[in-house]
Amino acid sequence: DVILSVKNLNATVEGTPILKDLNLEIKAGEIHAIMGPNGSGKSTFSKILAGHPDYEVTSGEVIYKGQNLLDLEADERATAGVFLAFQYPIEIPGVSNLDFLRVAYNSHRKAKGLEEVDTFDFEDLVEEKLEIVKMRAEFLNRSVNEGFSGGEKKRNEILQMALLEPTLAILDETDSGLDIDALKTVAGGVNQLAKPDNCTLMITHYQRLLDYIVPDFVHIMYDGRILTTGDKDLALKLEDQGYDWAIAEFAAVG
């Protein structure tokens, strides 16, 4: 089954075209990686999928589980199972991580017509999930992301993901700033959460995350479009040879 289908997507920021006829299809059970030089539009694409208000879609379509994703507000997309882990997770001083996660979790349950989970039951649930990201329970009592190291912030994002169990998980540069242990933990979490009925879109500038999360498809993005698609070997070629050959080989024809 196709979960996400993006056809000829064009989008602008403040009138400047950023995405230019972007096409992408992701099926259930697949892990996709988008790689590309800085400024290619990778983060723009992920934010547009999540419903960020700064970006204007000027043409094209985004179909998610058979419905027009662009018709949904950002919060409706989230409760419909679209999850975006940000490149730069926000800090929320004064709000405990536990409360933040519980509110997010319950809002998803509410949107699905399910009963809210009380504090005690939620603590049990979240403690189970802590294992996936190898986080200590004390993190739950700290303010959201405040004073967290880069690695802790990313683990926290994966914890959110573990709780919300998205159908489409989008990870934007989740590997940036991670030491090797945090990288392995985050990758292990993503691998554990990838199931036959969901899909993962990893956006990354570097190849090293793909040593631990093996994608089914690797797409090279440049200047707002997908230049070419391959398998994990394409990422290795990029690691070895950089992006220039791909731009020379594919950007000229398009």
Binding site for ligand ADP (CB under 6 A): 13-14, 18, 36, 38-44, 54
Beta bridge partners of 230: 218
With CA atoms as reference, report the closest residue to 177 among 145, 140, 152: 152
Nearer to Mg ion, 35 or 159 (CB): 35
Is residue 38 involved in binding Mg ion (CB under 5 A)? yes
- Write down the least CB distance from residue 85 to ligand ADP, Å: 14
- Write down the least CB distance from residue 132 to ligand ADP, Å: 27
Q: What does the alpha-carbon distance between residue 159 and residue 150 come to, in Å, rounded to a whole number?
A: 14
Is residue 16 involved in binding Mg ion (CB under 5 A)? no
Q: Which amino acid is at 15?
A: G
Interface with Mg ion: number of residues (CB under 5 A)? 3
- Write down the least CB distance from residue 186 to ligand ADP, Å: 19
With CA atoms as reference, report the closest residue to 31 among 202, 175, 155: 202
- Write down the least CB distance from residue 44 to ligand ADP, Å: 3
- Write down the least CB distance from residue 173 to Mg ion, Å: 6
H or E segment to which residue 103 belongs:
helix 97-111
Give the number of other CB atoms < 10 A from CB of residue 196. Answer: 8
* Residue 36 binds which of Mg ion, ligand ADP, none (CB < 5-8 A, kind-dependent): ligand ADP
The region of 19-27, 43-51, 182-190, 226-234 touching Mg ion under the rule CB under 5 A is 43-51
Is residue 219 within 8 Å of 190, Cβ to Cβ? no
- Write down the least CB distance from residue 201 to Mg ion, Å: 13
Q: Of 35, 40, 43, 129, which one interacts with Mg ion (CB under 5 A)? A: 43
CA distances in angstroms from 149 to 79, 125, 158, 183, listed in the order given: 28, 24, 14, 13
With CA atoms as reference, report the closest residue to 98 among 131, 78, 120: 120
- Cα dihedral 57→59→63→66 (10° resolution): 120
The region of 2-10, 37-45, 101-109, 235-243 touching Mg ion under the rule CB under 5 A is 37-45
Nearer to ligand ADP, 11 or 132 (CB): 11
Nearer to ligand ADP, 26 or 48 (CB): 48
Is residue 119 involved in binding Mg ion (CB under 5 A)? no
Nearer to ligand ADP, 159 or 215 (CB): 215
> Which strands make up the sheet holding 225-230, listed edge to edge?
82-85, 168-172, 199-204, 31-35, 217-222, 225-230
Query: Whole-angstrom distance between the N-terminal and C-terminal Cα of the chain?
Result: 29
Sites of contact with Mg ion (CB under 5 A)? 38, 42-43
